Structure 1
Amino acid sequence: MSDVNATADERLECDLAVLGAGPGGYSAAFRAADLGLKTMLIERYPTLGGVCLNVGCIPSKALLHVAAEVEAAFGLAALGINLGISAPLQPQVDLERLRAHKDSVVSKLTGGLAAMARSRRVQVLHGEGRFDDAHTLRVTDSDGRVRQLRFAQAIIAVGSSATRLPVLPRDPRVVTSTGALALPIQPRRMLVVGGGIIGLEMATVYSALGARLDVVELAEQLMPGADADLVAVWQKHNARRFDQLMLGTRITDAEATHDGIVVNFEGRHAPAQPQYYDLVLQAVGRRPNGLLIDAPAAGVAVHAQGWIEVDSQMRTNVPHIFAIGDVVSQPMLAHKAVHEGHIAAEVAAGHRSAFDAAVIPNVAYTDPELAWAGLTEAQARTEGRAVFKSIFPWQASGRALANGREEGFTKLLFDAGSRRLLGGAVVGTGAGDLISEVALAIEMGANDVDVARTIHPHPTLGETVGLAAEVAHGSCTDLPSRSRR
């Protein structure tokens, strides 16, 4: 990595400045460098990778893998393999070694990014970047040193920050996802505030480490955005983890005491008495960071909530300044940011490129996983779309049965007229890997015959995508015939 150590009165110049080194930012910088632009990458943290790599996607998946291994070991007893593990699950956890494992995964990846920056001659400025004008960034490092960077073009990739609830006290036992990933304690009783993907992923981890869980969610469904039938499978499989799932409920007040965080609730499933928790995770969403970079000084329009509007080429209202990732729009997903980063870099380099993706896949890396791409059933009902669906239940999948995980299913939605695939969803182990085929089929304009007549290897979970298409086509021989159902 080429760290620039210029003083404030030295003039740094580049073709392209990228503000933020998360997945979208570093991908944009690397792509721009590959296309011949002199590129500088500004990052406030000591390592590249942003929230996703350092305190988000990657460390959470390292811990979710450990959780899955714990659960798998516990489940072997039912298959005749006794490892001396008995119910209730109370593993002996060495938090220091578990943290070290998580940190080692992050370190390998951040080290790899540093090496790629060096190989591409992408210069890295560590510090907080703010705009002075439409062609100047002011970068302040942790020692208070200020450096000025002149740029011809810029990409804003500053991401988002966890939302905090004012009703919750400031206390080390009240954490965001970042704090939860640090594994501060092994709680006996934990409250997850927010029933979205981030909260339930961390709930999976802490449950595997022996915690009893409560979840409070203001909406009437967990994992908003996913179809209710997928969530129902997840909820049934995970019922044993939770003491209380408080849907349609909110926190009225909370207090930090010596014995724990005391929380009061109101709503449809609110407990009558105050509840005590060793750890409280607030996972109620994220706010874009557009208000933190003095963007108006460059003429860039920022919404009051922190969003920055862009066109299909990722340009802001200032044509030579682009924006990508969480600061642009929902969904706040790393793979979306990477795609946008490539587009912005290519346009900055003079190439014809634009965002025209038909779908952006979503994945909840819980146990079981939920994944969906394209049109959902809920969206089809809201929009009045004429669709038909086909479902292949994993109880009929040889591989799912062999794995002992037949609770899931694969669902496809087709246009009623053209029979083109419009959307799909999977709930089950490895759903996040399976959804890629669905996304590709939608992008390619495939119909039920295209997917059904694509030979899928047997026995695999991926085969359920083809079998669901066979159900739609009427050619599935792994389920009872339609005339007899």
Structure 2
Amino acid sequence: MEPISCSVLVLGGGPGGYVCAIRAAQLGLDTVLVESGPLGGTCLNIGCIPSKALIHAAEEFHLARRFAAHSPLGIRAGEPSIDLKTTMAWKDGIVSRLRGGVYGLLRRASVKVVNGIGILRDGKTCVVDTDMGRQEIAAEHVVIATGSESVPLLGLPFGGPVVSSTEALAFGDIPERLVVVGGGYIGLELGTAYRKLGSEVTVIEAAERILPQYDAELTRRVMARLGKLGVDVLLNAKATGLDRSGATLRIERSDGHEQRLHADRILVTVGRRPRLGGFGIEELDLRMSGNAIEIDDQCRTSMRNVWAVGDVTGEPMLEHRAVAQGEMVAEIIAGEKRSFDKVAIPAVCFTDPEIATVGLSPDAARAAGYTIKTASFPFTANGRAMTLEAEDGFVRIVARADNHLVLGLQAVGQGVSELSAGFALALEMGARLEDIAATVHVHPTFGECIREAALLALGHGLHA
């Protein structure tokens, strides 16, 4: 095959990679994108999108079962059933539509897509083994966007009954007994979904509480909801391996006692790591930060004209961070002056209830040396929450005591993920408590709670 020369070569077709490629092409740069699998990366194909589809289906089934028993709304229904094959086909249809959209966007932007595993020879050359033969690509700029992969647990390698989130999103049946190893957001999201679908679920977490990356005031609501749903949570516990039958999990408790759990499936969700192997990245002279590629505030690596975006650069491994980085890199290559100087990157945990956080928590703000004002407004005092039977939760605001600059916003409750954009905008625009308090919020909405929290922090709350 004839060699290809281009201005920008993007290695990886996930959100950071394909957005970088589209933006570079929009700016007039000759751009090639190399991807061995389906476009869209982990988030679209085996992560964010299919998991949220499964969570929604599980919630609908859970509600139907509730209506069959009792509903204060007066709704009565017969005992429901679920055809998981149809559910999975619906989920896969959403993924397929979105993936087709990505292909269309790249085509419209005139990005050349090369399908195959790309191996970097150096910082300017990539060789791709395609179905048509070997393709050599030379580029002025290389953007590494190879994403991340599930971390296996020592003593519990993937295979047989031990699965990652990828397999859990494509089960052919609903496991009777599911054990989730890891009480982070991935494990709790999927564990909760399968509990609502009918599985007996046990969560094993080595730390003293679930979701240790979030503060306890938020996670307490999730823990309580897990109990109501009948999910068994073992804290300060470690999974050490399987017995010979391959169906019983050995668990070591912090007090030294050992426990055994029988399971049809064991879902290991102890984290993700940058995907570095198999692309020739290890042959480049790149400085590393732990197990991630080190970058500066423009996503430059230690090699000239070699850039890295998204999960391969480490935490936070979030799609929206990757997208922002990819867009920025394309604009810098095109000659624009940009840097990654985000005041806050929102994070959302799609558990039941959801958690949304932006900026600093009260403890983090104090640890950073700030004297703060903080206030929480409960959904029990919000009309919209009452009409949606969603009173479990609150919105919390954190601000400097001296000038009232907002440092952080957090919420826990049904659907609070949709508040995260407003939270981030407030921080990026440098809002103060007075700015939020003076902004007219629509009634009746959950958004009113943001204003009410600001008023409480100012000392003159109106509805609490």
Distance, in Å, in 1 between the alignment partners of 2:132 and 2:332 is 34
Pair 1:127 & 2:116 matched:
yes
1:3 aligns to what?
A: none
Q: Is 1:464 paired with 2:464?
A: no
- Between the aligned partners of 1:399 and 1:271, the Cα distance in structure 2 is 47
Find the aligned partners of 1:169 and 1:242 in 2 and give their Cα distance: 28
Deviation digits for residues 50-69 of structure 1 (CA, Å, limit 9, x no counterpart): 11101111111111111222
Does the alignment pair 1:266 with 2:258?
no
The two structures have a TM-score, normalised by structure 2, of 0.95
Kept in 2, the 8 Å contact 1:405–1:429? The answer is yes
The whole-number CA distance in structure 2 between the counterparts of 1:426 and 1:201 is 17
* 1:23-422 map, 5 Å: 23-45=15-37, 47-76=38-67, 77-79=70-72, 80-85=74-79, 92-141=81-130, 143=131, 145-255=133-243, 257=245, 261-268=247-254, 273-303=259-289, 305=291, 307-422=292-407
User: Displacement of 1:438 after TM fit?
Assistant: 1.3
Q: Would the alpha carbon gap of residues 114 and 297 (structure 1) be closer, same or farther in structure 2, given more than 3 Å must change? A: same
Partners of 1:385 and 1:192 in 2: CA distance: 38
Q: Distance in 1 between matches of 2:349 and 2:339?
A: 28
Assess, with a 3 A threshold, how the Cα gap between structure 1 residues 17 and 391 changes in structure 2: closer, same or farther.
same
Matched letter for residue 76 of structure 2: N
**Conservation of the 8 A alpha-carbon contact between 1:247 and 1:269:** no
Paired letter, 1:400: A
> Residues 440, 144 of structure 1: CA spacing in aligned structure 2 closer, same or farther, 3 A cutoff?
same
Shift in alpha-carbon separation, 1:170–1:453, aligned structure 2, 3 A: closer
Runs of 4+ in structure 1 displaced over 6 angstroms?
A: none
Cα deviation for residue 383 of structure 1 reads 3.2
Q: Which amino acid aligns with 2:425?
A: L
In the alignment, is the contact (CA less than 8 A) between 1:196 and 1:222 conserved in 2? Answer: yes
Provide Cα deviations, 1:283-336, integer angstroms capped at 9, x if missing partner: 00001013442225443334562x111111111111211100001121100000
Contact 1:19 1:156 in 2 (8 A): yes
CA pair 292-383 structure 1, distance change in 2 beyond 3 A: farther
TM-score norm. by structure 1 comes to 0.91
User: Contact between 1:214 and 1:242, CA under 8 Å: does it hold in 2?
Assistant: no
- Please give the alpha-carbon distance, in whole angstroms, between the structure 2 residues aligned to 1:291 and 1:385: 42
Q: Distance in 1 between matches of 2:88 and 2:149?
A: 23
Matched, 1:434 2:419: yes
Deviations 1:35-81 (A, max 9, x none): 00010001110x21011101111111111111222233334432221
Once the two structures are aligned, what percentage of the paired residues are identical? 39
The aligned amino acid for 1:149 is: I
Separation in structure 2 between the aligned mates of residue 441 and residue 235 of structure 1, nearest angstrom: 29
List alignment gaps of at least 5 residues for structure 2: none
Report the residue type matching 1:431 in the other structure: V
Q: Check the 8 A contact 2:243/2:250 in 1, yes or no.
A: no
Gaps of 5+ in 1: 1-6, 86-90, 480-485
Q: Once the 2 structures are TM-superposed, how far is the Cα of residue 149 of structure 1 from its aligned partner?
A: 0.6
Alpha-carbon distance, 1:472 to partner: 1.1
Tell me the secondary structure at the aligned position of residue 97 of structure 2. Answer: helix
Q: Distance in 2 between matches of 1:406 and 1:302?
A: 46
CA RMSD of aligned residues (A): 1.7
Question: For residues 322 and 378 of structure 2, what CA distance do their matches in structure 1 show?
Answer: 33
Secondary structure of residue in 1 paired with 2:247 = strand
Tell me if the contact between 1:249 and 1:267 (Cα under 8 Å) persists in the aligned partners: yes
In 2, Cα distance between equivalents of 1:18 and 1:175: 30
* Bigger shift: residues 431-440 or 243-252: 243-252
